[in-house]
Structure 1
């Protein structure tokens, strides 16, 4: 444990993910397993450098030389406007910051534009096409690439992808049209108690905290490429009526158990009005009574009983009212609890 905590900075992220995975699997990390994990990380990094192209490098190669700007000169054929040209206005170039979102992994030549890759270096989730969004909130955010250059994200929103078992919902996905492939932060799975298991040389699966498989994928040149169905099937956010009826007939189970009851059905995330109503609770009482500053500002009431044996008058309940400021008290003896409303009316 001491060796993992004191790893060099370049292995900090790998060490944290390794500790998290051991905690999920309920085992103590041994020195041998830790060394193997670091060796595997170094091997993946070397494969990525050898078989991949950095995002910024690919973007640069896609810009024809006759469309590039030079220092203090804006090329009229460039895609950006003269007003936004960094060569003319260097002050507009985004500055590198510790808070800048990072996309560490280089893009593998075998991955296409629609691939989704689990990236251990990405700090957030990123896609390159609007087709993955049901709707989008437009905002600008700076993304730092592996070579230190930056690009801009144009929006953020929730997307849904269908795996062979369930529908995956990801929040706060960034829309980056210039991204060469789609990236999913591996830490997003690890931090939510998911674990990644390798099945064989070329395949892996992601398990939830119940050890249920939620998505699988292939290992290609050191990259974890997810298997999923095209998201166009989820352009509509409505839930089929037969799913709602089935949920009601099953006794309103939670989404988790509902999917286990019917594993062959694709059950999306939906809200049940009856379930939401039944889960509502009253606000709790304050931890202490407020302090009164004048008479009759607060009244403390207490109804006790039934008393056994009853009083000589036959009263079986005691109703006490105390003023929160003067502590003056009224005590009433009642035959039945139903007499309480009449007492309140007469004393008011």
Structure 2
């Protein structure tokens, strides 16, 4: 594809002036002959400059053009497309662009070229949008600097500033020997040394080799230690260790620990670093020590141990137990550092807002911190294992202990075990019994269920049409004979009389209810007072609510995800579907007759006894004020003979 190079045109300088705006020929007077010749000369020069910069394969487009304006217009029409397809193509290229290695400067050139072409089509992309698209093209190797840029205010962001920050990060990673730019390694593997002559072993203190290759170290280390601890230490020395694990959210007051330990959030650290040995609940020596580069060029510190740190964070007056695995023990540090990279790899996120740093696990805040002298200090309290265990032993009763030993067995079963001597070794005695006031936090969280909805003790409605229950059932497959896929029920709470309407879609509910309300009010000369239904869109729509307001009907919506509150309609729909399915199976009719089966089921239920009516009457009798006549009932789907009127019959029919 040919592209006119704007840079070359600006170097020529005269080209914009050489292209005339009009091509109209005018009669030139004798005193303007010199000016005419200069104009012709400029046109020839312009045409020559344009032809020189057109590729040989593209000269066919302008071969028959005489003036430079015609050449320029033809090139713009052919190559400067401003269609929607061109915009979509360029935008798709920008969104799919990824930095897969190499130099960042080359990546910036390719990105700027696409943005310039995209803007050339007439599309609008401001500087902030361009910065966001550029950051999206970067891989995980730049996750730290991208996170820091995301927290900055928009007025401080510019494309030049972002490029400088990214180039600084590239230079920093190359200086530390990180191969993440080309290999895609997510973690920073600090080497700190590039030249073999500067390598110094920290086992024998000699130069020229590393500790892992040190022969003196291998002589001193026992063979059994290498077998037992080698694999675990090697894992701890790589960048693929498990990062952070938060467990045990406990309510109530924070742990009674007065001393605070300073942990600072660090976006540049690839691992969690701790300087205090007493913070670790488990600590082991690494078979391959890790060199950690510091801010000063050419200097590094060494971590020879790693382990697990257990702490408590205080969030909103409650304590959250935090277990942080694979923390490097570095006593030379001035402060303990909490790695943002490790937090993100653990599936959590860090939010900086108004001088605060919040660490989220899903939608829950597990650690919070505040800005202190341009650094974010996290609110952590150390965990004393020995004191905590002693405290738990004093407070915890025998019943709670055995409750936990038996996998959180209920108190009644524990009492039965002790009273009936069903097992041996149980230290609970019958006279001591089990503490019935035990409140187990784990049981509350793991076994909690919603209390059952108790049946109401009597009829709440005192008259017909005081309360109407309604619900929609469907879609039902296959379609009915008339293309129906749904049915809606209206149940009078006082008589339990049920009316069914078949529908093709849910938006017909309003029309069905209008018909039901008109027939019912005309029959009983009384109005519908309340309508109980779920939160479906067919009931919460504006037109449905407006109709109910006009008729003075109060709508009682159920609580979301609580179908038990509309149990009358839910149970009726289930009964109708079960009876219809059974009748279809018994009759052998096609499933397309489900609509007729449902209406027949409602007809029969209105003439059947129900526990909802306490007067030993059927819903039909309460609704119609007379006993139903069932002498004409026939089995659903049975064969019948249809009488044809004589007006429609022929002589021999």
Place the TM-score, normalised by the shorter chain, in its bin. Answer: 0.3 to 0.5
Q: Which has the higher strand share?
A: 1
Q: Which has the higher helix share?
A: 2
Structure of greater Rg: 2
Higher relative contact order (CA 8 A, sep 6+): 1
TM-score (norm 2): 0.26
TM-score (norm 1): 0.42
